[in-house]
Chain A
Amino acid sequence: SNDKIKKRQNGYNYIQEKQKQHLPSYDEIYEETPLTEAFWTYLNYVILNLFGWFRDLLRKFRIETRKGSAEDNPPGFVSLYQSYESFYTRNVYGRIADCFNRPIASVPGGEVTLLDRVTDDYNWSFRYTKDTIRAINLGSYNYLGFADNNGKCSQNVLEIIPKLGVSTASSTQEFGTLSLHRKLESLLARFLGTEEAIAFGMGFATNALNIPSIVGKGCLILSDELNHTSLVLGARLSGATIKIFKHNDMASLERKLRESIVNGQPRHHRPWRKILIIVEGVYSMEGSLCKLPDLIRLKKKYKAYLYLDEAHSIGAMGARGRGVIDYWNCDPNDVDVLMGTFTKSFAAAGGYIAGKKELVDHIRVTSHAAVYATSMSPPVVEQIISVLNFLLDENENSEGRKRIAQLAWNTRYFRERLSKMGFIVYGHPHSPVVPALLYSPSKIAAFNREMLKRGVAVVTVGFPATPLVLGRVRFCLSAAHTKEMLDKVLNIAEEVGDLLNMRLSKLNPKRSFQEIQNEDNDELKSNI
C-alpha cells in the first residue's frame, strides 16, 4: 500500500490506472462565456482602440516621437504597408509584445532557461541583461519529453554527424537520398501501419506544397473552421473549391457533403472530380480532438477522401503513441492521407505524408521537395529514427511506453485539477493541449507576466489566433513533467488566477488546490 502511494506521488501510476478502462470518449465541454467577462473584454478593446487612435494622432502631428524603425518610404514610392494593418500591431500587440518571442538558452525540456530581457521604451526594442530565468516549461511542444541533450537519441545524433555531415546540398531526386532517409521512411510506415511514407524537411511546406498535387481545379475541399494556416494555404494554392464546415460538427459536414454532390460544381453543375475532407487530429488552440469514427463513416458513405493532419497528435495520443487513429482504435487504411510533423513529439524538424503506395509514389514524382528542396539533414533524421525505435518497442517497460503513459497520466491529472479549481478549460479530456480561458487582452499579458515572475513559462494567445473575445492560456503538457512540477504549477496558477479573477466556471465552482489535494489523499487512503 505504501508502494501504491509512492507510485502515485511519482506519477508512474500507469499500472494502477490501467485497471480503470479509459475508453475514448466524445465528451468535450465548452462552457459559455460569462456575460460579465464578455462585457469587460469588449470594453477593454474599445479603450485600447480609443487610445490607439489618440496616440496615432499624436504621432502624426509629431507631438509624440515615432519609435521603432524610421519610416523608410522614399519620396514618390507607394507606402509599403497599409496603415490599418499595422494599427493593431502598434497599439494592441505592441503593448504586450514582451510576452511573445521570448528567447531561450537551453534545451526546451520540462524546465527551460529564458534570457532575461528588459525594455526601455515600452516594447519597441529590447535589451538583454546578462541574467537568465529558470522556469517550468509549459510552452514548448515537447509532448513525449524527447527534447534532451544527453539521452540516447542525442548520443546517436552525435555519432552520425562526423559520418554523414550536417547537410547534403542536393535535392532528393538528384544526389540527396541517403540510405538513412530510406530507413526513416520504412520505419515510419511500420510505425503508422501504412504501406509507405515519405518525409520532408519542413512541416508547413509539407501541407502547403503537397495538397496541390493531390487535388486541383474541379475538386472540392471541405475543411474544418479551425484548420492551421498551412492547410489553408495548401488548399488555396491547389485551385480547388473550398467549403468550410463548423468545427467538429459532423451534421454540418454531412449536410455540406450532400448539397455539394447533388448540386455539382458551381455554375456549370458538372459532377465534382473528387472531394477531400481536411481535418486535424488535435487542434492546438482549442485542445479538441477530431471525431474520427464519424468522419470515417461519412467518408465511406459519400465516397470522399480524408486528409488527417496529425501535427500535434502523433506520438501524443493513443495507447501506443500512434496518434488519434490509435486513440479511436480505427484502421489506418481507412484514412487516405496521413500527414504529420516531427517537430512536436519527436523533438526534431520536418513533416511526413503516409498512405498507400500509389499515393506516396505520386507525391514522390510531383512534389516540390523531390526536385527543388534540399533533402533532410542527417542528424535530424537520426533523431527521428531513434525516437521511432523507442516508440516501436512493444515491451511494456520500454522507455517509449513509459513516456506515453506518463503523458496520458499528466494530461488527465492536470486537466481534472484545473477544472475542479474553477478555471474554464476547453477541449477534450485526453488531449495534452490544455487551453484555459482568459478572455481579455489585458489578462493575457498579465497572466503571462505573473506566471513568469513565479517561475512558470506559459503561452498566452489572443486575437487573431483566437476569436476576439476568447483570449486564452494554452498549457502544453509533456512527459518530462513530474507530478511535483505539475503541483507547483497548479498552486501558482491558483494564486495568479485569484489575482486576475479567472476562476469563473459555473460548472465547477472554484475550490482551492489544497482542498482538492486533501480530498484526493483521503480517497486514496480509503481505497487501500
Chain B
Amino acid sequence: MLLSSMSSVDIESLATDFYGLIQSFYHAPLYHIILEILLFFAVMWLLFFRKPRPIEKKLTEKEKQELIDEWQPEPLVPTVDPNHPALNVRILDGPVGKYITIDNEQSLNFASLNFLNFVGNERIQSKSIQAVQKYGVGSCGPRGFYGTIDIHLELEERLARFFGCEEGIIYSYGFSTIASIIPAYSKRNDVIFVDEGVHYAIQKGIEASRSNIKWFKHNDLDDLERLLIEQENLDKKNIKKARATRRFLIVEGLYMNYGDLCPLPRMVELKYKYKYRIFIDESVSFGTIGQTGRGITEYYNIDRQQIDLISSTLEYAAGSIGGFAVGSSFVVDHQRLSAQGYCFSASLPPLLAAAAIEALNIMEENSDLFETLMYKSEQLHNKLIAIKGYIIQGDYLSPLKHIRLPNEFNTTGRLESIVHFAQTKHITITVARYLQDEHVLPQPSIRLILNVDITEEEMDFLCAVLQEALVVTI
C-alpha cells in the first residue's frame, strides 16, 4: 500500500536504508498516517493504562485442607418410614401353593403368580430331589468356566423344541433375563420403540442400553405408526446414519401391569414395512395363553420365525427360578458372549433346571391344562364383571386381572382395607406393588391371579367376599 502510489520510484532502494524509510513516509497517503497514529495510541493504552484482569490464583495447600475439612456428606441413606409395607411383610410358613398358611390359618391364594399350580407339585419335587442327589445344590461357576451342567443343555434344548425355534438360552434370574438381553443387541445409537406399560425389568434393560427410546401409548398402534413415520422422515434426511441404526420393538405378550394382550399381528406387518426387529417378553403369557401354552404367537397363529426373540421367565407358570430366551441361532448365539447376566454370573442351580424340565414335561403331556385355564379365566371374568362397583382391567382370557374401584374412590388405603377384609374371610389377595421410579406408574389396583386348580365354587366364594368387602369398606 505504501509503495503502490510510488510505482515510478525504485522500490528496492527505498526499503534498504533508514533515509529511504523517512522518504517513504513523506510519500504515504494521509489516511494511512492517521491510522498508524491511532494504532500507536491504542497500543500505548493497552500496555499502560488498562486495568489488568486478575488471574485466578491457585488454591494454597492450607485452603485445600480447609475445604476438605469443611465438606460434610449426606447420610448414606435417607430415613425410611417404619410403617412402609416393605418393612412389615407377612411372613409365611409352608409352601405358597393354592392354599397358604398365615398365622396358622389356611386361606385361598389368589396372589401368587402360580398359574399352573406347579408350586408343591410332587413330580417336580421328586425330580429336584434327584438332581440334588446327583449334582449337589450350587453350580459353583459361570457358564464359561465349568458351570455348564448337562442339565442346562437339556433344558435349553427342550425349551427350543417346545417353541419350535432353533436355539434356547437360560439365565439364572428372571429379572435379569430381559434386562441383560436388551443391552446385548441395542447399543448407543440404536432406536427402541417400546410400549409405555412394560414392566420394570424391561425399563431397566432399556436404561442400561443407552439407546434412543421412543415410548408409544399402551397398545396404541396409531401412536406407534406415528413414531415410525417420524423415524422414517429422520432417516430420509440422513441416509448414511440410517443404515447404521438398528431398530427394535419391545412389547410384552400379556402385560403384567394391565392384563391385556398386545396386538401382535399388526406389529408384525409393520415390522416388514418399517424394518425393525421384534422382541417379545412373554413372562406372563408363557404357559397361560394359547392352545398348548406356547404363548401369544400361538394364540394369534403367527409364525415364530418372524419374531426375532422371545424371552420369558421360569418363575411364574413353570414354577422354578430363572429365565430363558428362544429364537434363531443367529440371534440367540450372540448372547452367549455379550449378555452380561449370562457371562458374568453363576449358572442356574441344577435342581431348579431339573424342576423346569419336569414342568415342561407336564406341560407337554397335559395340554388340556391350558384350555382349562383359558376357560376358567373367562368364567372368572364374567363373574367379576357381574359385581357392581368394581372396574375390571384385563383381557377376558387372561389369568391375571387388575381390579379397581371407580374414579375417586380408588386409593391404596381403600384397596388395602379390602385386602385386609378378604384375609379375615380366608381369601388372600394383594395390592399390586410398584417402585416409585416406574416410567408410567399404574393406578393403584388389586392384582388377582387365577390358579388353574381353582374350582367354580371357590371363584363364587371370591366374588361374594369381594362384594361384601365393598359394602364394609365404603
Which A residues have a C-beta under 8 Å from some C-beta of B?
68-72, 74, 76-78, 80-81, 89, 93, 100-109, 112, 114-115, 137, 139-142, 147-150, 153-154, 157-158, 161-179, 182, 201-205, 208-209, 214, 228-230, 233, 236-237, 258, 261-262, 271-275, 302-305, 336-337, 341-344, 346-349, 358-359, 361-366, 368-374, 377, 379-380, 383, 457, 459
- The residue of chain B having its C-beta at the shortest distance from the C-beta of A100 within the complex is B144
**Is B458 positioned at the interface, with any CB of A under 8 Å from its CB?**
no
Interface 0/1 of B312-339, CB less than 8 Å to A = 0001100111000000111101101100
Q: How many Å from the CB of A307 to the closest CB on chain B?
A: 10
- The residue of chain A having its C-beta at the shortest distance from the C-beta of B207 within the complex is A237
Q: Is the CB of B145 within 8 A of A139?
A: yes
Q: Is the CB of B100 within 8 A of A175?
A: yes
Q: Is the CB of B349 within 8 A of A380?
A: yes
Selected A-B contacts with CB under 8 Å, 16 pairs: A76-B275, A81-B334, A103-B148, A149-B135, A161-B128, A165-B96, A175-B430, A258-B64, A262-B64, A343-B346, A347-B138, A371-B433, A372-B200, A374-B315, A379-B137, A457-B146
Instruction: Give which listed residue, A93, A140, A202, A336, contacts B141 with CB less than 8 A.
Output: A140
Which B residues touch A262, using CB under 8 A?
A: 59, 64, 67-68
Q: How far is it, in angstroms, between the C-alpha of A476 and the C-alpha of B13 when the chains are bound?
A: 90
Which B residues touch A70, using CB under 8 A?
A: 330
**Is B172 positioned at the interface, with any CB of A under 8 Å from its CB?**
yes
- The residue of chain A having its C-beta at the shortest distance from the C-beta of B341 within the complex is A204
Instruction: Give which listed residue, A104, A274, A341, contacts B148 with CB less than 8 A.
Output: A104
Which A residues touch B93, using CB under 8 A?
A: 178-179
Given contacts A169-B119, A343-B140, 13 further A-B contacts (CB under 8 A): A69-B166, A77-B275, A78-B243, A106-B135, A149-B133, A168-B119, A179-B93, A214-B77, A261-B68, A343-B139, A347-B136, A358-B75, A377-B352
Interface 0/1 of B77-113, CB less than 8 Å to A = 1111010111101111111110010000000010111
Which B residues touch A209, using CB under 8 A?
A: 175, 204
Which A residues touch B204, using CB under 8 A?
A: 209, 237, 368
Which B residues touch A174, using CB under 8 A?
A: 111-112, 430, 433
Instruction: Give which listed residue, A81, A140, A161, A182, contacts B132 with CB less than 8 A.
Output: A161
Which A residues touch B200, using CB under 8 A?
A: 368, 371-372
**Is B245 positioned at the interface, with any CB of A under 8 Å from its CB?**
yes
Q: Is the CB of B173 within 8 A of A258?
A: no
Q: How many Å from the CB of B111 to the closest CB on chain A?
A: 5
Q: How far is it, in angstroms, between the C-alpha of A348 and the C-alpha of B89 when the chains are bound?
A: 25
Which A residues touch B120, using CB under 8 A?
A: 165
Contacts of B280-314 to chain A: CB distance below 8 A: none
Contact status of A182 and B185, CB under 8 A, knowing A71-B330, A165-B125, A173-B433 = no
Which B residues have a C-beta under 8 Å from some C-beta of A?
59, 64, 67-68, 71-80, 82, 84-87, 89-97, 100, 109, 111-114, 119-120, 124-125, 128-129, 132-141, 143-150, 152-153, 166, 172-176, 185, 199-201, 204, 207-208, 243-247, 272, 275, 277, 315-316, 319-321, 328-331, 333-334, 336-337, 340-341, 344-346, 348-349, 351-352, 355, 428, 430, 433-435
Contact status of A105 and B149, CB under 8 A, knowing A78-B247, A205-B175 = yes
Q: How far is it, in angstroms, between the C-alpha of A154 and the C-alpha of B176 when the chains are bound?
A: 28
- The residue of chain B having its C-beta at the shortest distance from the C-beta of A202 within the complex is B173
Q: Is the CB of B153 within 8 A of A103?
A: yes
Q: How many Å from the CB of B437 to the closest CB on chain A?
A: 9
Which A residues touch B175, using CB under 8 A?
A: 202, 205, 209, 368-369, 372-373
Q: Is the CB of A78 within 8 A of B245?
A: yes
9 residue pairs, one from A and one from B, having the closest CB atoms: A202-B173, A362-B77, A72-B330, A69-B329, A204-B345, A347-B138, A343-B346, A140-B140, A165-B95
Instruction: Give which listed residue, A101, A168, A348, contacts B138 with CB less than 8 A.
Output: A348
Q: Is the CB of A80 within 8 A of B138?
A: no
Which B residues touch A365, using CB under 8 A?
A: 80, 84, 86-87
Which B residues touch A158, using CB under 8 A?
A: 129, 132-133
Q: How many Å from the CB of A63 to the closest CB on chain B?
A: 22
- Looking at A68, A71, A205, A362, which has the most chain B CB atoms within 10 Å of its CB? A205
Q: How far is it, in angstroms, between the C-alpha of A252 and the C-alpha of B361 when the chains are bound?
A: 57
Q: Is the CB of A149 within 8 A of B132?
A: yes
Q: Is the CB of B80 within 8 A of A361?
A: yes
Q: Is the CB of B67 within 8 A of A178?
A: no
Which B residues touch A205, using CB under 8 A?
A: 173, 175-176, 341
Contact status of A108 and B96, CB under 8 A, knowing A154-B133, A368-B204, A372-B175 = no
Contact status of A373 and B173, CB under 8 A, knowing A101-B143, A102-B146, A237-B204 = yes
Q: Is the CB of A182 within 8 A of B91?
A: yes
Instruction: Give which listed residue, A162, A228, A358, A459, contacts B77 with CB less than 8 A.
Output: A358
Q: How far is it, in angstroms, between the C-alpha of A272 and the C-alpha of B145 when the chains are bound?
A: 41
Q: Is the CB of A149 within 8 A of B330?
A: no
Which B residues touch A109, using CB under 8 A?
A: 136
Q: How far is it, in angstroms, between the C-alpha of A369 and the C-alpha of B179 when the chains are bound?
A: 14
Q: How many Å from the CB of A500 to the closest CB on chain B?
A: 21
- Looking at B119, B135, B145, B148, which has the most chain A CB atoms within 10 Å of its CB? B145
Q: Is the CB of A167 within 8 A of B331?
A: no
